[in-house]
Each structure stands twice: as structure tokens, then as C-alpha cells.
Amino acid sequence: MNKKVVYMTGEKCVIKTKVGEKVIKRGQNVQYYLRDRLRDYLEDLVKRGVIIKSISERRNPFRALKKPDGGIRLVSNLMVLNDLMEKDVYTLPLIRDIIRATQGSKLFTVLDLKEGFYHIVIEEGHKHKTAFEFDGRVFEWNNMVMGFKNAPHLMQRVMNNALDELRGRGVEVYMGDIVVHAKSERDHDELLEKVISKFKTLGLRVNPKKVQYKLEEIKLLGVSINGQDMEPNEIKKQEALEYKKPENVKELRRFLGLTGWFRDFIPEYAYRTVSLTEALKKDTKWNWTDDMYGV
């Protein structure tokens, strides 16, 4: 079983909703062969302080998914709750800005924060809004949960503050991904030691399976970073090239989200995709044209 989660002090996850609004839905039926494993998993989350037993009247739907390693992943469906919330406008960094900040560096390390969202506690009086039910028992999240629409913005703000003295000085932050870079091995190692020391002080842990350690080239958000060139990841590039023709607005939005990573590599990207972005407007009837296919 995993260790008890250490919560970061300072900022908490606040869930502001309209007065009187509630989410009262039921989760999907959990496949029978997963039920015993889900019970054990929920018990582990309770012991770790990630979730707590609840008397809330609210019910958010969820899904239980089997992970490749045989474990369980609990995915809360917070779409309805998200629609009731005020949006956090804290800015996320642009990948191109991170890449430009690393220009000239020779060595890179990427640290992936293990269970990053779990380190941010939800404000008292707001936890009941996240409640879900399984097997006659009701739980609510004690920590910030994946699927909460403001989670990326809050995570960015918290990590920016935690590493503020190092940011822009050989350390770049994208939510739970921390990039350490330098021109020399000595400078790289000193910076990395400072980041690790900060993590230890805060009780944060790194996912060892996702660490990219002291490399001349790393991958971040589908982009290769080597201190000189800015190149799209070949896997992401192939995924975009093989994407099927969108059949509706949802699929088109997903396609534009995928190709948006490559706007720095495509001349006049905004001009080229104007017919596609126009099709996303609410008052526009869905109609796939030859011009759109030619993009």
C-alpha cells in the first residue's frame, strides 16, 4: 500500500458554486470482477487520508478502470460540478516559452511529481461537494481530485510558489513536471539538489518511472527539448497525421487541441485553421467542407 499523503501548507482547493446548486447523480455500475479490488482501493485511500467517509447528499458519478499493471484507477466524473463552479484564471505556461527558456542548456532532467494533485487539500466546507457512492458507502475527496477543472491552474500556482526562488534560473515548472537544465554538469547537479531538497522539505515525492535524468534531450508534453532545436515529438506528429476526419464538433475540438501543440512549427497556423475554428462556434451548423479537409 502507498504512504499517507503529506499536504502542502498554504493554498487550498476552493470549490465555489452557485448557492443551492447540487449534483445528485449515480455512478456507473462497476464491473463485477473489479468490485473487490475497488473496495480494497477505497479502503487504502481512506487510510492515506485521500478520501474520507461522508454524509453528503451529493453524488458525483465515477468510473473504476483497470490499469495496465493490474491496479485500479478511480476517475470521478465532475462535469456537472465543474459547470457550477467559477473558473480559476491563473495562467498556465506555454510550452514554447519553457522551450525558449532552456535554449543553450546542455543537460536536462525532468521530475514528475507523484500524485501531485493529492498534495493539495480541499477547503473545509467544500469537500462534501465531491461526494460519491459505492456499495452503499459514501465518500468525499479530502484532496484535490483529477477532473476538477481548476486543478491544473491551482497546481501551477502552488508549484510556482514552492519553487519561486529557482524558477527562471535553470528550473522550469509545468504543473507537476519540473525541468532542471544547465550548460554544465556541475550547475545541473547543484540545481537538481536544490529542487530535491525542496521536495523533501515539502514532503513531495517523484515518480521514478517517469524521471528523465541528466539527458542531452528530453520529452515534455509531446515536444523534444535539447537546448538548440524545437521539434515536435514523432509520436505526437504521427498521431496528428493519422487522425481521422472529424465527424462532429467534439472530435474537431480534440483534433485542434492535438495540432495546437505544433503551431510553432506550422507557418501561418492560425490562418490555415480559420475554417476549422469557425466551425466551433455555437451558432454554426456542422458541415464538413473541402476547404476544411484541405487544411
- pLDDT number for residue 257: 77
pLDDT tens-place string over residues 173-230: 999 999 999 999 999 999 999 999 999 998 898 999 999 999 999 998 878 899 986 6
Please, what is the average pLDDT of the chain? 85
Give residue-wise pLDDT tens across range 239-264.
Answer: 777 777 778 888 888 888 777 767 76
DSSP characters over 280-295: TSTTSPP---HHHHH-
What letter does residue 181 receive in the DSSP assignment?
E
210-232: b (≥16 Cβ within 10 Å) or e: eebeeeeebbbebbbbbbeebeb
Per-residue pLDDT of 62-97, as tens digits, reads: 888 887 777 788 888 888 889 888 889 899 998 888
Residue 1 contacts by C-beta under 8 Å, 6 or more apart in sequence? 44, 47, 48
Three-state DSSP class for residue 122: strand
SS3 label, residue 129: helix
Q: Can you tell me the distance from the alpha carbon of 121 to that of 9, in angstroms, rounded to the nearest whole number?
A: 9
User: Which of 19-28, 117-126, 194-203, 221-230 is predicted with the least confidence, judged by mean pLDDT?
Assistant: 19-28
Would you kindly state where each structural domain of the chain is located, as residue ranges?
95-115+150-230, 233-294
Q: Which CATH architecture has domain 95-115+150-230?
A: 2-Layer Sandwich (3.30)
Confidence of residue 172 (pLDDT cuts 50, 70, 90): very high
Report which listed range, 18-22, 114-118, 169-173, 287-291, is most confident: 169-173
Among 209, 196, 47, 13, which residue's Cα sits nearest to residue 117? 13
Query: Is 290's pLDDT higher than 60?
Result: no
What are residue 263's DSSP bridge partners? none
pLDDT band of 122, cuts 50, 70, 90? very high
